[in-house]
């Protein structure tokens, strides 16, 4: 598992993102059970209220759902929803930063495209 707790953003956001990544990468399956907030808290040594806040963020987005008295589960179509959501921010999060750096280094558009093609092979 990645160590998500030290990139400066609020910890609950990092917890939510960590769960999202697990779902996107398939470590957490749809309809499968998610570790409890206490387990997250113990694992990352964070306050359980913070862990709960991160989990609730995903409950509100319909990515996770609560079964009373049993625990937290990954919702149906959660993966699809996450892919849609992340695609929307992909340009700002990755492409824009790449273009900015390429401009500084005077990398031509064609070279950039070539790099992407080579990287995908």
Which stretches of the chain bind another protein, using CB under 8 A? 5, 8-12, 37-38, 41-42, 44-50, 53
Inter-residue contact 64 to 58 (CB < 8 Å): yes
Inter-residue contact 23 to 82 (CB < 8 Å): yes
Shortest Å distance, C-beta 120 to another protein? 31
Shortest Å distance, C-beta 11 to another protein? 6
Q: Which two tokens stand for residue 102?
A: 């390429």
Closest CB to another protein among 44 and 73?
44
Which residues, in sequence order, are CB contacts of 29 under 8 Å at separation 6+?
A: 74
Closest CB to another protein among 45 and 67?
45
- Residue 120 CB neighbour total at 10 angstroms: 6
Shortest Å distance, C-beta 49 to another protein? 5
Closest CB to another protein among 89 and 120?
89
């Amino acid at each position: 598992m990645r160590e998500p707790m030290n990139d400066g953003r609020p910890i609950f956001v990092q917890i939510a993102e960590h769960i999202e990544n697990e779902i996107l990468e398939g470590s957490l399956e749809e309809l499968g059970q998610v570790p409890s907030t206490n387990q997250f808290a113990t694992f990352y040594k964070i306050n359980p209220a913070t862990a709960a806040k991160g989990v609730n963020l995903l409950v509100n987005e319909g990515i996770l759902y609560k079964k009373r008295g049993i625990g937290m589960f990954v919702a149906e179509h959660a993966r699809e929803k996450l892919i849609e959501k992340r695609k929307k921010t992909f340009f700002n999060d990755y492409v824009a930063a790449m273009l900015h750096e390429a401009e500084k280094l005077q990398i031509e558009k064609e070279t950039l495209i070539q790099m992407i093609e080579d990287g995908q092979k």
